[in-house]
Amino acid sequence: MTDQASSAMLKRLRAVEWTGDWDDAVAHVRSRRVLMREYLRRAGMWAQAYSAESAWPFFDAADYVDPDFTLSPEIAKELQEFLGQMTGDDSIKRTCAGAVRMAGLSAQNPSVGGDLPDLYEPLVLFYERGGEFLRDNAGFLDLTGVLLRPGTLQGHLGTPHLSSLEGAMLDALDAAGRITYYMAADRRGPLLRQRVVRSDQSNEAFSRDSLHWVPTGALPAAAEKAADFGLVWLDEMEAADFIATALAARRTWPVVRPPMRLEKRFTGYPPISGVTKASEPDLQGWIEEGRRNIVEVADMPGVAPEIYSRDPLSLIPAFAQVPLSRIASTLRWRWHAWRGRTAFRSGSSPAICWASPGEAVAPPTPPRPTLRPSLRPSVPPSVFDTRNPAGEFPT
């Protein structure tokens, strides 16, 4: 189990495009910044719990949680080979090693960490959504498209937490432009977002009902004027958690069924009398009629029977030269010939059953009767569509 968990994490890290496409990384810059801030918060919690404050923020937590823990020789060798091929910052290598080792340690001892959140999952998702990060000489983290100052451990402990890291929430955060989030002062309304791309401004709302961004009315031109609109400015972490909570709530809503009320619902036509008890001569007649249809239609393009019998696809280019009106006329004639012999009639009264509210459905025109597959004559479906609005086939 330990090797399986460590191997799965190493496989995820190997699949990351560490120096991937710039446009792809920039397209996920909003979600990547949120993921990095969540990792810094969680790293602070783990560092405090295991006296690793000096190693914060990018460290191998397994060294502090259980210094005696070791990976199996096979996984340890694969991990070293993977780290040796990486060209990124040492901080990235330490966290990759920590993610693999902590996956194995947690599988071996599920009680590790107690109630602490998964340490490395936000950072691994960060890597998967755009690759590496860089550290500049001024101490900033370059997240490819945006800079983030790491700040202090204590400062990140007060960062609003995320209740979920699901992909739908992260995708909802990613958008182009300068983004500001607002919400009603009572924190009960939808999440509001103002996006400014160059000189174009877009105002959007994300509610628990719609679960996606939709256009909305005017929003403040600056966060300082939010009170004039009865709104409050929202940190991006709070906005992300609102989206995550809304998505989770929709999945867990109970299914409330209305009280049962008897209503009539159309369920189709009753069986055609006599069809289910067709005699053997009738069956043989239908089979023969189907064979005649095939032979006559196949003969239209002038392809020899021995050719299309051996290769039916040879009829396709030949049929391109046959007028559709001729094919339709032949099939319609065949239909009437069969109808006359079987004395088939349509237009029976529909069957009625009882159903719950919301299920009462009546088609605008009666559908064609459906014969049992084993008894259906060889008539193409297009012929059935030639009935008039009253539901009768042409005579």
| Mean pLDDT, residues 19-23 | 83
Residue 164 lies in a domain: no
Same domain, yes or no: 241 and 152: no
Half-sphere exposure of 223 (CA within 13 A, CB side): 11
Last residue of a domain, one of 226, 252, 278: 252
**pLDDT higher than 60, residue 274:** no
CA dihedral 209, 212, 217, 222 (to 10 degrees): 120
Strand intervals (E) in the chain: 134-135, 141-142, 147-148, 178-184, 191-197, 200-206, 213-215, 231-234, 263-266, 352-355
Q: Is the pLDDT of residue 26 over 60?
A: yes
pLDDT at 59 exceeding the cut of 90: yes
Confirm if 301 and 295 have CB atoms less than 8 A apart. Answer: no
Indicate if 201 and 290 belong to the same structural domain: no
**369 or 116: which leads in pLDDT:** 116
The token pair that represents 103 in the structure block = 């996956």
DSSP codes joined into one string, 170-184: HHHH--SSEEEEEEE
Indicate whether 51 and 116 sit together in one domain: yes
Closest by Cα among 71, 50, 73 to 61? 50
Same domain for 60 and 87, yes or no, is yes
Answer whether residue 294 is part of any domain.
yes
Q: What is the pLDDT of residues 340-352, one digit of tens each?
A: 544 443 443 443 3
Nearest to 99 by CA among 120, 85, 116: 120
Q: Does the structure show a pLDDT above 90 at 82? A: yes
Same domain assignment for residues 152 and 54:
yes
User: What pTM does this model have?
Assistant: 0.65
Counts for the chain of helices (H) and strands (E), in that order: 15, 10
Write out the two tokens for 43. Answer: 């790293």
Single out the residue in 108, 131, 157 at which a domain terminates.
157
pLDDT in tens, 359-392: 444 444 444 444 444 444 444 444 434 444 444 4
Q: Please check the confidence at residue 358 and state whether its pLDDT lies above 70.
A: no
Compute the average pLDDT of residues 117-145: 94
- What CA–CA distance (Å, rounded) separates 313 from 353? 45
- Flag whether pLDDT at 86 surpasses 70: yes
Instruction: Give me the domain span that covers residue 198.
Output: 175-252
Within a domain: 222: yes
Q: In terms of pLDDT, which residue wins out, 199 or 74?
A: 74
Q: How far apart are CA 169 and CA 166, in angstroms?
A: 6
Domain assignment of residue 116, yes or no: yes
Do residues 38 and 148 share a domain? yes
Q: Is residue 135 part of a domain?
A: yes
Q: Residue 145 carries which DSSP code?
A: S
Instruction: With beta carbons less than 8 A apart as the criterion, state whether 377 and 290 touch.
Output: yes
User: How far from chain centre, in Å, is Cα 60?
Assistant: 34
Average pLDDT over the chain, rounded to whole?
Answer: 79
Q: Are residues 29 and 97 in the same domain?
A: yes
Residue 225 lies in a domain: yes
What whole-number distance in Å separates Cα of residue 189 and Cα of residue 231?
Answer: 10
Count of structural domains, the chain: 3
Determine, yes or no, domain membership for 247.
yes
Q: Give the lowest-confidence range in 15-29, 41-55, 171-185.
A: 15-29
Is the model's pLDDT at 1 over the cut of 90? no
Q: Are residues 271 and 248 in the same domain?
A: no
Sign of CA dihedral 380, 383, 385, 391: negative
pLDDT of residue 88: 81
Tell me if 395 is assigned to some domain.
Answer: no
Indicate the residue among 157, 191, 206 that finishes a domain: 157
Same structural domain, 234 and 379: no
* DSSP-derived secondary structure for 273-295: TTGGG--HHHHHHHHHHHHHHHH
- Whether residues 53 and 98 fall in one domain: yes
Same domain, 322 and 374: yes
pLDDT digits (tens, 9 = 90+) for 165-215: 999 999 999 999 999 999 999 988 899 999 999 889 999 999 998 899 999
Beta bridge partners of 141: 135, 148
Arithmetic mean of pLDDT, 306-310: 68
333 and 212, same domain (yes or no): no
